[in-house]
C-alpha cells in the first residue's frame, strides 16, 4: 500500500477528533503531493512544533452503539474499512518519506472487544518503531476495555496516548453512549497512565489527553470544567479537548441541534485559565444555568468584575497576578518582570517596548506608576 492508497481508504474518517496542543487552530493540510486527499492530514501543534499529522483508523467497523458517532454499530451510511497493521504502517511511511506527514494519530472502532482492537493499534506502533525505525510523533488511542498491560505498551511506543471520556459523569455518558462504562473502561485507563508515568522514574514520558462531546448529554459548562480541573490536577492530563456536537444522519441524535462553536471556544479559554493561569473553578464567570457567557471570554469577564475598579500596578504585581490581566500571557508577564528591572514602567509604550503584544486589551485593568494609562481612542 502506498500513501495515496492509504489516504483513499481513510477518506471521510479523520475529522472527528482533535490531536495537537492547539485544537482550536487545527486545519486540514493542503500539500502538493497529496491532492484531493488531504482531509485526513491535519496541521497540529505538538509541544513547540507545528507539523502535519495523519489521522488514521485501523478499522471503521464498530460493535458499540454510541448515539453521536458515525461509526456506531448498525449505521448503514458508514463505509466500513479495515487496514492491516502492516499496510497501515507501510502507507504511513510512504507519506512520511514523501514529506507529506511528520506524525500519526491512530484510533480504531471497537471490534471483538477493546483489548483486541487495542492489539491492532499496538501492532502498528510496534511496526513503525521497531521495523521502520520511525522516531517521529506518535499518538495512540486507548480503546474502551483495554487492559493495563496494553496501556503500558502504548506508553512505551507513543509520545501521547488518549482515552475519550465523552461526557463529564457516568449519568451524562449513559445518555449518549449507554454501552460504555464510564469508570472501568474510560476513566481507569487515564488513571493507569498517570500511575505508570509516576512510577516509571522518567522512563515513560507519554502525555495523556481526553475529549468531551459538548452538548447532546445536556451537561452545563460547570460540569465539563469541574471534570477538566480534576483531570489536570489529579491525573496530569496535558490537554482536555472539547468537540462541539454535530448531528449525523442515521444516528439516534440526528434531530438534536448542533452545539454553538463559540461554546467550544469559551470552554477552551476557560480550561487554559484552569490549567495554566492559576484560576480556580469557583472563579469562572458562570451564568445562573451553569454555563459560560458566549459574548465575552472568561478572562475578560473575570477582570471586568475584579480589576476594572481596582486595576493592577504593573511595577509591583507578581507574575501570577499579571497572568490574570486580559492581553497578558506567560511570555508577556515574563517580559514585564524583565523590563521592570531596568526602570519604572510609566506608559503603554513602555509595555510595547518590553514586547507585550496586546497592550490595548490590558490597558483598562492596569496602573502604570500609580496612574491609569491614557488610552487613545480608535478612529476606525
Q: What are the distances in angstroms from CA 259 to CA 28, 225, 287, 352?
A: 21, 17, 18, 38
148 CB neighbour count, 10 Å cutoff: 14
Domain presence at residue 294: no
User: Which pTM was predicted?
Assistant: 0.89
Closest to 23 (Cα-Cα) out of 241, 210, 294: 241
The span from the first CA to the last CA of the chain, in angstroms, equals 56
Answer yes or no: is 278 within a domain. Answer: yes
Whether residues 139 and 31 share a domain: the answer is yes
Q: Which phi and psi angles does 333 have, rounded to 5°?
A: -65, -40
Domain-ending residue, one of 283, 315, 342? 283
| Domain residue limits at 338 | 307-367
Query: What whole-number distance in Å separates Cα of residue 135 and Cα of residue 106?
Result: 15
**How high is the pLDDT of residue 45?**
75
Residue 236, SS3 per DSSP: coil
Residues 275 and 315 reside in one and the same domain: no
Write the CATH number for 102. Answer: 3.20.20.70
By CB atoms closer than 10 A (0-12, 13-18, 19+), residue 255 is: exposed
For residue 265, give the nearest of 3, 25, 27, 56 by alpha carbon.
25
Residues 166 and 311 in one domain: no
Phi and psi at residue 368, in whole multiples of 5°?
-120, 110
**Within-domain flag for 230:** yes
User: Coil, strand, or helix at residue 5?
Assistant: helix
- With respect to residue 322, please indicate whether it lies within any of the assigned structural domains: yes
Cα–Cα distance, 1 to 86 (Å, whole number)? 9
Say how many domains are in the chain: 2
* Set of cell numbers at residue 21: 496542543
Return the closest-CA partner of residue 19 out of 2, 51, 44: 44
Torsions phi, psi for 299 (to 5 deg): -70, -45
pLDDT score, position 375: 58
Q: In terms of DSSP bridges, do strands 239-244 and 366-367 run parallel, antiparallel, or are they unpaired? A: unpaired
Q: What is the mean pLDDT of each run of 10 residues along the chain (380 residues)?
A: 69 58 51 53 76 90 92 83 94 93 94 95 98 96 97 97 97 96 97 96 93 97 98 95 92 94 96 95 97 97 96 96 95 95 93 90 95 65
Whether residue 15 is found in the same domain as residue 85: yes
Give the pLDDT score at 35.
Answer: 43
Other Cβ atoms within 10 Å of 33 Cβ, number: 11
Sign of the alpha-carbon dihedral angle for 311, 312, 314, 316:
positive
Q: Are residues 273 and 326 in the same domain?
A: no
Residue 376 lies in a domain: no
Q: Are residues 59 and 119 in the same domain?
A: yes
Last residue of a domain, one of 251, 283, 315: 283
Residue 110 lies in a domain: yes
One domain, residues 314 and 180:
no
Q: Is residue 315 part of a domain?
A: yes
**Closest C-alpha to 177, from 105, 119, 232, 110:** 110
Same domain for 318 and 205, yes or no, is: no
Regarding whether 140 and 77 lie in a shared domain, the answer is yes
Please indicate, yes or no, whether residues 271 and 319 belong to a single structural domain of this protein: no
User: 113 in the Ramachandran plot: left (φ > 0), alpha (ψ -120 to 50) or beta?
Assistant: left
State residue 209's pLDDT score. Answer: 95
Same domain, 221 and 331: no
* Same structural domain, 347 and 248: no
Q: Return phi, psi of residue 5, to 5°.
A: -60, -45
Distance in angstroms (rounded) separating the CA atoms of residues 36 and 109: 25
Give pLDDT, residue 116. Answer: 96
Contact 97, 121 (CB under 8 A): no
Of 249, 283, 317, the residue that ends a domain is 283
Examine residue 295 and state whether it is found in any structural domain, yes or no: no
Amino acid at each position: 500500500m502506498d500513501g495515496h492508497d492509504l489516504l483513499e481508504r481513510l477518506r471521510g474518517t479523520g475529522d472527528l477528533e482533535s490531536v495537537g496542543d492547539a485544537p482550536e487552530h487545527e486545519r486540514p493540510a493542503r500539500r502538493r503531493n497529496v491532492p484531493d486527499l488531504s482531509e485526513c492530514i491535519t496541521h497540529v501543534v505538538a509541544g513547540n512544533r507545528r507539523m502535519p499529522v495523519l489521522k488514521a483508523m485501523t478499522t471503521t467497523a464498530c460493535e458499540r452503539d454510541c448515539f453521536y458517532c458515525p461509526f456506531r454499530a448498525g449505521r448503514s451510511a458508514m463505509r466500513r474499512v479495515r487496514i492491516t497493521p502492516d499496510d497501515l504502517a507501510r502507507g504511513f511511511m510512504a507519506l512520511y518519506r514523501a514529506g507529506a506527514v511528520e506524525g500519526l494519530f491512530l484510533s480504531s472502532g471497537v471490534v471483538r472487544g477493546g483489548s483486541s482492537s487495542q492489539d491492532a493499534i499496538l501492532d502498528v506502533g510496534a511496526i513503525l518503531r521497531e521495523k521502520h525505525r520511525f522516531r517521529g510523533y506518535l499518538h495512540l488511542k486507548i480503546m474502551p476495555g483495554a487492559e493495563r498491560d496494553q496501556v503500558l505498551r502504548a506508553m512505551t511506543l507513543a509520545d501521547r496516548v488518549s482515552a475519550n471520556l465523552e461526557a463529564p459523569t457516568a449519568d451524562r455518558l449513559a445518555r449518549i453512549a449507554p454501552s460504555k462504562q464510564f469508570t472501568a473502561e474510560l476513566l481507569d485507563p487515564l488513571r493507569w497512565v498517570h500511575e505508570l508515568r509516576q512510577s516509571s522514574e522518567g522512563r515513560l514520558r507519554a502525555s495523556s489527553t481526553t475529549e468531551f462531546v459538548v452538548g447532546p448529554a445536556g451537561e452545563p459548562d460547570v460540569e465539563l470544567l469541574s471534570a477538566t480541573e480534576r483531570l489536570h490536577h489529579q491525573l496530569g492530563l496535558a490537554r482536555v479537548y472539547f468537540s462541539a456536537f454535530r448531528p449525523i444522519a442515521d444516528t439516534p441524535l440526528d434531530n438534536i441541534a448542533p452545539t454553538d462553536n463559540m461554546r467550544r471556544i469559551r470552554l477552551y479559554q476557560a480550561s487554559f485559565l484552569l490549567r495554566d493561569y492559576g484560576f480556580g473553578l469557583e472563579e469562572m464567570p458562570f451564568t445562573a444555568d451553569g454555563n459560560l457567557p458566549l459574548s465575552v471570554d472568561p478572562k475578560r469577564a473575570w477582570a471586568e468584575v475584579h480589576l476594572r475598579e481596582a486595576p493592577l500596578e504593573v511595577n509591583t504585581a507578581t507574575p501570577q497576578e499579571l497572568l490574570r490581566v486580559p492581553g497578558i500571557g506567560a511570555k508577556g508577564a515574563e517580559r514585564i518582570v524583565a523590563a521592570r528591572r531596568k526602570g519604572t514602567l510609566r506608559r503603554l509604550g513602555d509595555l510595547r517596548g518590553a514586547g507585550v503584544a496586546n497592550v490595548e486589551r490590558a490597558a483598562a485593568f492596569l496602573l502604570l506608576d500609580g496612574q491609569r494609562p491614557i488610552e487613545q481612542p480608535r478612529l476606525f
